[in-house]
Amino acid sequence: MIDTAGGPSRTDRTVWIRDGRIAGIEASDSRSGSTRPSAGAQVLDGRGKFLIPGLWDMHVHLSWTTSSALPLLIANGVTGVRDMGGRLSELDEWRTKIAAGLLTGPRIVRAGPILNGQKFNTYQMVTGNPDETRGVARALKEIGVDFLKVHRRMPRDSYFALIDEAKRLELAVVGHIPMTVTPEEASDAGQATLEHTETLFEGTFAAGLKDTPLPDAIRQFRVDGAERLFARFVRNHTLYTPTLVAYRSIIDFYDPPSPPDPRSRYVALSLREEARKSKPVTAEELAGMKKTFAELREVVRQLHRSGVTLLAGTDVAGARVPGFLLHDELALLVDAGLTPLEALATATRNPATLLKITKDYGSVETGMIADLVLLDDNPLDDIRNTQRIHAVILDGKLLRRSDLDRLLREAEKLASQN
């Protein structure tokens, strides 16, 4: 049993699950019988295996992936997601069906529409002037969104009005840094999470670049400015979702030597076909993207060293593969300097802390909701072992390897029809 808080792993334990929660944990040789299950209970032999909490992907867009993502996430041990912008009615329909057992899918917390100053896709909402923006926040609170997501084209005065109104409504504001707002201002204002490492280098940063290539400018920022900014994030309790895998997936898509990803068969056919229409990039542009990615990874290394709390997220949308990419993101975080345990926390304990649900999620303890993943090998030896899934327990329901393989087949079939 892996302790995501950093304590020693516990061995030779029996975990009892009843009514969707962990009813008890005791030494396997215990004779107390205090939590013995009733006759007919399911038994899963976990000897030689490793138990972790269910994983959370803290940046997804399910409306951009279609319903084929739902079983795919569970097959990858992703039992919870933070949806950062989609069609609210669709998301809530899925949530209702998942809760009723009519669909297999993760727990979903959601923002609903993406709030922006201009509308670039069907999932964005133009909030208007500051007074209108306050009204949008109140309306979204009334219909029950879990938080508010802001994008980079929101005007400065409307952004600060949104932050102020959200505090009164007790709603967190998360997302990009608007183009006319500095990272320092966003953190000081109380934006709960910043999304994508590259958001630091858009807007006000990009406006001052002049003729300096972006990778060189990021490198200079890491030498002069990063430590002060990241210390500010720590003081303000600003969390960060790097989504390194999203940037790298773009590079892989355009890079000719990169082999086709066999996991793309799980992506909706319509989204794959749309991706094929993308305008190719030049060799020079691709080289620049690779240099930028290398710098962004080092920025994440500094964020971590500075003590900024990180969240694992993939920005799955379009042709990106749900579920699988979360494991890739964990590996990239380790490449950026996190230990395997620290990387694991970005998808378990840290999400629970942000969402204020640590009484139910994020660790393996008696009384917690039984969202669990049983692994064949130790993720603390190699974070890639999170991919070696033996079984998933979702809300107390046992899904053995054969069940997970069935979910993969279901996801592939749904993808071929969407």
- The reply to whether 78 falls in a domain is yes
Task: Quickly tell me which residue has 């130790």 as its tokens.
Answer: 378
Quote the CA–CA distance of 332 and 41 in Å, as a whole number.
39
Quote the CA–CA distance of 386 and 400 in Å, as a whole number.
16
Name the β-bridge partners of 181. Answer: none
* Residue 282 CB-half CA count within 13 A: 3
- The reply to whether 275 falls in a domain is yes
Quote the CA–CA distance of 114 and 176 in Å, as a whole number.
10
First and final C-alpha spacing in the chain: 39
- The reply to whether 34 falls in a domain is no
CB-CB contact of 366 with 35 (8 Å): no
CA 227 to chain centre: 25
Question: What confidence score (pLDDT) does residue 115 get?
Answer: 98
CA triplet 216, 221, 222: central angle to 5 degrees? Answer: 100
- The reply to whether 283 falls in a domain is yes
Tell how strand 50-53 and strand 21-27 pair up. unpaired
DSSP letter for 112, please.
-
Quote the CA–CA distance of 86 and 391 in Å, as a whole number.
30
Residue 187 structure tokens: 């953190």
The parent domain of residue 202 ranges over: 54-111+192-362+413-417
Considering only CA atoms, which of 402, 240, 246, 371 is closest in space to residue 321? 246
Q: Residue 324 is inside which H or E element, if any?
A: helix 324-335
Quote the CA–CA distance of 148 and 310 in Å, as a whole number.
19
Considering only CA atoms, which of 397, 410, 316, 401 is closest in space to residue 99? 397
**Number of domains observed in the structure of the chain:** 1
pLDDT in tens, the chain (418 residues): 999 989 999 999 999 999 999 999 998 775 555 556 677 889 999 999 999 999 999 999 999 999 999 999 999 999 999 999 999 999 999 999 999 999 999 999 999 999 999 999 999 999 999 999 999 999 999 999 999 999 999 999 999 999 999 999 999 999 999 999 999 999 999 999 999 999 999 999 999 888 899 999 999 999 999 999 999 999 999 999 999 999 999 999 999 887 888 999 999 999 999 998 888 899 999 999 999 999 999 999 999 999 999 999 999 999 999 999 999 999 999 999 999 999 999 999 999 999 999 999 999 999 999 999 999 999 999 999 999 999 999 999 999 999 999 999 999 999 999 8
Q: Residue 199 is inside which H or E element, if any?
A: none
- The reply to whether 60 falls in a domain is yes
Quote the CA–CA distance of 70 and 418 in Å, as a whole number.
13
* CB-based burial, 253-273: b 16+ in 10 Å, e otherwise: bbeeeeeebebbebbbeebee
Question: How many residues are recorded in the chain?
Answer: 418
DSSP string, 45-69: --TT-EEEEPEEEEEE-GGGT-TTH
Question: What confidence score (pLDDT) does residue 103 get?
Answer: 96
> 248: which residues sit within 8 A by CB, 6+ positions away?
293, 328, 332
Quote the CA–CA distance of 132 and 125 in Å, as a whole number.
12
- The reply to whether 323 falls in a domain is yes
- The reply to whether 320 falls in a domain is yes
CB-CB contact of 271 with 326 (8 Å): no
Q: What is the CATH number of the domain that holds 209?
A: 3.20.20.140
CB-CB contact of 111 with 174 (8 Å): yes
> 36: which residues sit within 8 A by CB, 6+ positions away?
16
Residue 323 structure tokens: 């579920």
Q: Residue 416 is inside which H or E element, if any?
A: helix 401-417
Quote the CA–CA distance of 208 and 210 in Å, as a whole number.
6
- The reply to whether 141 falls in a domain is no
Tell how strand 78-83 and strand 239-241 pair up. unpaired
Residue 366 structure tokens: 């008696």
